[in-house]
């Protein structure tokens, strides 16, 4: 029997005002990009709780993308500035705890950058495809010990 | 600490405070917290190298607050916790009197936040060699080894939340882990639940932790979990140049920002 080809599951956490509109532009511009990404829309990057990223991994994601407005472009003035500090600390902590940092992608994509969004998704998809499924985290979520897996 | 008992008695007798929170002899060569409400009880007060518990944790407890204005025997981490609590509007300028130990081992009375601030800033604050060594050791591990290390440590966790109870800065009356609609973090001490709890605890302390290390001290399973917020505190000091618990009106590093904050991972 042919082994089913691995398709990565990527969850994208995006802000409503820039990246979501940017992804919309990718579509209306008829730019084709990887279907591996599932987009979740948030009011602002400041609303993207760090725990949501971990919840994505626990529920079977192999990679996450976090994207919002460029600095100084936030609809609410400072949401992305606060988010930037939080992500810096979250990444440091995740790295310290030994998570695979290549599975986290952080970008700024504006509402005018439809082409950039397609590039971001395609690059992430390729990268995660090469890395394979995130079994280490999934085993933790499923209470499987290293020996059993 | 010289004069500790005399000063405590004096504070109580002159009615400047209603209770002195300090340390007294406990069982098996350990010390325990003491809440002295009269001069006779003050005789039991002591202060030595064993007195590491952060007594600031009692300051906002309802039962203690009901006793009236407190004086608190405070080591440096306790003073820093007090300043941090003041910055977070949990304590006011003159809501307590601190009895600190100066470099000559004498008791000093600090009557308000301004005096506490000046005292803390005159002290040298640094991580212990042991903690720094451990931090460096973990940082130097390859990624898979770090993961295995923390998984092994987290798997010991029994979710007793002693780390939260002993932390002077974990003062929310209702914690996210006790919320169950929806259940954000599982109650049982599962692998995932443990990982998520320690991540959340650390992130909620980012920019606020004053590195007293009491979370690990209280941990019945001996998880070195103080290293997590301590590592972030070091990182914050390096990147943003701020340290919590030095000023009575400081901002938390994560509740403020600079438009030109630097990072190297957002593309």
Reading the block at residue A4, the tokens are 């089913």
Report the pLDDT value the prediction gives residue A115, as an integer from 0 to 100.
Answer: 95
Identify the weakest region by mean pLDDT among A56-65, B132-141, B257-266: B257-266
Whole-number Å distance between alpha carbons of B149 and B163: 19
User: Contact A93/B146, CB-based, under 8 Å?
Assistant: no
Smallest CA-to-CA distance from A36 within A125, A126, A99 is with: A125
User: Contact B231/A93, CB-based, under 8 Å?
Assistant: yes
User: Contact B184/A81, CB-based, under 8 Å?
Assistant: no
Dihedral angle computed from the Cα positions of residues B110, B245, B224 and B239, in that order, rounded to the nearest 10 degrees: -150
User: Contact A140/B191, CB-based, under 8 Å?
Assistant: yes
For residue A49, the SS3 value is coil
pLDDT at A1 over 70: no
Which of A50, A54, A98 is the closest to B146 by Cβ? A98
Q: In chain B, what residues touch A71 (CB-CB under 8 Å)?
A: 259
The stretch A48-65 carries a mean pLDDT of 93
User: Contact B190/A143, CB-based, under 8 Å?
Assistant: yes
ipTM: 0.91
Which of A91, A120, A140 is the closest to B195 by Cβ? A140
With bands split at pLDDT 50, 70 and 90, how would you rate the model's confidence at B182? confident
User: Contact B254/A82, CB-based, under 8 Å?
Assistant: yes
pLDDT at B18 over 80: yes
The stretch B122-149 carries a mean pLDDT of 93
What string of H, E and C letters represents the secondary structure of chain B? CECHHHHHHHHHHCCCCCEEEEEEECCCCCEEEEEECCHHHHCCCECCCCCCCCHHHHCCCHHHHCCCCEEEEECHHHHHHHHHHHHCCCCCCCCCEEEEECCCCEEEEECCHHHHHHHHHCCCCCCCHHHHHHHHHHHHCCHHHHHHHHHHHHCCCCCCCHHHHHCCCCCCCCCHHHCECCECCCCCCCHHHHHHHHHHHHHHHCCCCCCCCHHHHHCCCCCCCCHHHHHHHHHHHHHHCCCCCCCCCCCCCCCCCCCCCCCCCEC
Q: By CA distance, what is B258's nearest residue in A?
A: A81
Report the pLDDT value the prediction gives residue B181, as an integer from 0 to 100.
Answer: 85
The stretch B4-15 carries a mean pLDDT of 92
Whole-number Å distance between alpha carbons of B90 and B65: 12
Average pLDDT, chain B: 92
Which of A54, A81, A91 is the closest to B196 by Cβ? A54
The stretch A19-47 carries a mean pLDDT of 95
Whole-number Å distance between alpha carbons of B140 and B98: 40
Going by DSSP bridges, is the β-strand pair B107-110/B70-74 parallel, antiparallel, or unpaired?
Answer: unpaired
CA distance B134 to chain A (A): 12
Q: Given CB atoms, is A100 within the 8 Å cutoff of chain B?
A: yes
Report residue A5: phi and psi, to 5°. Answer: -70, 140
Which is it for the CA torsion B261, B262, B266, B267, positive or negative?
Answer: positive
Smallest CA-to-CA distance from B165 within B97, B220, B88, B91 is with: B220
- Model confidence pLDDT, tens digit, residues B79-133: 999 999 999 999 998 899 999 998 888 999 999 999 999 999 999 888 899 999 9
Give the B-side interface with A, CB within 8 Å. Answer: 138-139, 141, 143-151, 184, 190-192, 195-196, 199-200, 202-203, 206-207, 228, 231-232, 235-236, 239-240, 253-255, 257-259, 261, 263, 265-267
Whole-number Å distance between alpha carbons of A65 and B4: 57
Q: Given CB atoms, is A136 within the 8 Å cutoff of chain B?
A: yes
Report the pLDDT value the prediction gives residue B227, as an integer from 0 to 100.
Answer: 95
Q: Which of A15, A93, A103, A124 to mutate to test the interface with B (most CBs of B within 10 A)?
A: A93
- Model confidence pLDDT, tens digit, residues A63-109: 999 999 999 999 999 999 999 999 999 999 999 999 999 999 999 99
- CATH architecture of the domain with range A10-141: 3-Layer(aba) Sandwich (3.40)
For B203-229, b where at least 16 C-beta lie within 10 A, e where not — what string?
Answer: bbbbbbbbbbbbbbebbeeebbbbbbb
CA distance B192 to chain A (A): 5
Q: Quick check: A67 and A23 in contact, CB under 8 A?
A: no
Q: Given CB atoms, is A86 within the 8 Å cutoff of chain B?
A: yes
CA distance B58 to chain A (A): 29
pTM value?
A: 0.91
pLDDT at A147 over 70: no
Which of A84, A93, A136 is the closest to B257 by Cβ? A84
CA distance A140 to chain B (A): 6
Residue ranges of the domains in chain A? 10-141
């Amino acid at each position: 029997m042919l082994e089913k080809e691995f398709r990565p599951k990527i969850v994208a956490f995006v802000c409503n005002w820039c990246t979501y509109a940017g992804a919309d532009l990718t579509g209306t511009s008829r730019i084709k990009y990887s279907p591996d990404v599932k987009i979740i829309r948030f009011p602002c990057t400041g609303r993207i709780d760090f725990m949501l990223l971990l919840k994505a991994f626990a529920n079977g994601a192999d990679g996450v993308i976090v994207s919002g407005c460029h600095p100084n472009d936030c609809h609410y003035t400072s949401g992305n500035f606060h988010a930037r500090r939080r992500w810096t600390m979250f990444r440091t902590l995740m790295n310290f705890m030994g998570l695979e940092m290549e599975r986290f992608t952080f970008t700024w994509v504006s509402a005018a950058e439809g082409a950039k969004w397609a590039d971001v998704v395609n690059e992430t998809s390729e990268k995660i495809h090469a890395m394979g499924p995130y079994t280490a985290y999934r085993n933790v979520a499923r209470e499987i010990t290293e020996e059993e897996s | 600490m010289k004069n500790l008992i005399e000063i405590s008695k004096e504070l109580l007798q002159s009615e400047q405070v209603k209770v002195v929170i300090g340390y007294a002899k406990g069982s098996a060569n350990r010390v325990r917290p003491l809440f002295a409400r009269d001069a006779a009880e003050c005789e039991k007060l002591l202060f030595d190298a064993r007195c590491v518990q952060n007594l600031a944790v009692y300051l906002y407890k309802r039962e203690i607050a009901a006793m009236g204005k407190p004086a608190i025997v405070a080591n440096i981490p306790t003073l820093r916790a007090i300043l941090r609590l003041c910055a977070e509007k949990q304590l006011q300028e003159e809501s307590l009197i601190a009895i600190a130990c100066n470099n000559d081992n004498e008791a000093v009375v600090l009557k308000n936040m301004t005096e506490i601030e000046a005292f803390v800033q005159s002290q040298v604050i640094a991580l212990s060699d042991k903690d720094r060594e451990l931090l460096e050791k973990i940082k130097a591990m390859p990624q898979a080894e770090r993961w295995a290390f923390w998984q092994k440590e987290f798997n010991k966790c029994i979710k007793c939340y002693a780390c939260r109870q002993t932390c002077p800065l974990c003062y929310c009356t209702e914690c996210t882990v006790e919320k169950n609609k929806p259940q954000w973090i599982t109650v049982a001490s599962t692998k995932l639940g443990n990982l998520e709890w320690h991540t959340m605890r650390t992130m909620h302390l980012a920019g606020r932790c004053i590195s007293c290390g009491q979370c690990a001290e209280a941990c019945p399973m001996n998880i070195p979990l103080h290293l997590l917020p301590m590592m972030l505190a070091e990182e914050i000091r390096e990147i943003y140049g701020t340290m919590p618990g030095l000023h009575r009106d400081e901002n938390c590093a994560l509740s403020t920002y600079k438009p030109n904050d630097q990072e190297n991972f957002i593309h």
